[in-house]
Homo-oligomer: A and B are copies of this chain.
Amino acid sequence: MNILPYKRRVYYYETDKMGIMHHSNYIRIFEESRVFFLQQVGMPFEMIEASGILMPVLSVECRYKRPLRFDEIFFVYPQIISFTGTRLSLKYRVTDEHGDLCAEGSSSHCFTDTDMKPLRIKNSHPKIYDVFAEEYNYL
């Protein structure tokens, strides 16, 4: 499926005294782009949570290349890099409006029920499994 990048501007309150977007906010824009991505593949986050699945974050990482400044437009390109039915990993590329790389990162997630017990969604939620598997195989 052809996924649109996530786009927005840097908010004033996201800058720090160095005058750049604080590095912690990249972890947040990864999440924003993940939500937009899931919406596009037809599996909005609310639908996932409504079906009793939580997707806690197991790990995140980010490498910073070029700082973003206040009100600068940026794009985030999320992509599934692995999916096993018990775990999901995505990578993210952040670019400025000229397409220059600003940051790269990734996140990995597991699937749990609302009591935070691990789920094998192939069995428990096959439709959600299929969406992730299809999107993963597409790439």
Contacts and interface: CB of A to CB of B under 8 A. Distances in A.
B18 A13 contact: no
Contacts of A35: 11-12, 71
A97 interface: no
A123 interface: no
A17 interface: yes
B59 A62 contact: yes
A93 interface: no
Interface string A43-58: 0111000000010111
30 contacts: A11-B32, A11-B35, A12-B17, A12-B32, A13-B22, A13-B31, A15-B16, A16-B16, A17-B17, A17-B19, A17-B70, A18-B56, A23-B27, A23-B57, A24-B24, A24-B25, A24-B28, A24-B31, A27-B27, A27-B60, A35-B71, A45-B70, A45-B71, A46-B70, A46-B71, A56-B64, A59-B62, A59-B64, A60-B62, A61-B62
